Amino acid sequence: MSSDVVSWLDYGKDIQADRTWVIDPIDGTKGFIAMRHYAIAIGVLRGGQAVGGVMACPGYPAYNGGGALLWTENDTCMIGPISGFSGRQVRVSAIQDVQRVRVLESVEKSHAGFERMLRARMLAGLDAAPVERLDSMEKYARIAAGDAELVSAAAQPQEHTRPFDMGSRGRGGVGARGRRPSHRY
């Protein structure tokens, strides 16, 4: 039976199509199991480029703790409460004062490289910045919506970015691994 499941999950991975749906039913599986933060994401690629999507973050503290829903509408990324589609356009934070920067990093030690990232923050003058640890791509939703300024992560050599890991391309945020710019979202 397990080989049937693997075959089903791999179905279509090498098929080239004009439109491809990318679905991550539980991003942050360990966070979901531990009743922490997780996200549910659906995106559509056209010609290999992200053109639309929706992401639910039930643990997002906005909207009286009711979670947040992010979606694309007319090439604009929107955010609102999970309970309804009234929302606002996302905007990255305008904070430029290094003393006010809010940092997010993974709960998982293997994803975050806590000691390495602390040294990097110290070198950047961010050692006093508040750090919140979250599971899932909710971190990127918070950056896009202006609810944090930095995601601190130590990429492992074997890691590669998957389509939805940086799917919140929106309002001027820039990601980088080391010194090389890697993504605009």
How many residues does this entry show for the chain? Answer: 185
Least confident of 10-19, 45-54, 137-146, 153-162: 153-162
Q: How many other CB atoms sit within 10 Å of the CB of residue 66?
A: 14
- Predicted confidence (pLDDT) per residue in 88-134, tens digit: 999 999 999 988 999 999 888 766 678 888 898 899 999 889 999 99
Helices marked H in the chain: 2-10, 29-33, 109-112, 114-123, 138-144
Please write the tens of the pLDDT for every residue from 59-89.
Answer: 999 888 889 999 998 889 999 999 876 899 9
pTM: 0.76
If phi over 0 gives left and psi between -120 and 50 gives alpha, with beta otherwise, what is residue 47? left
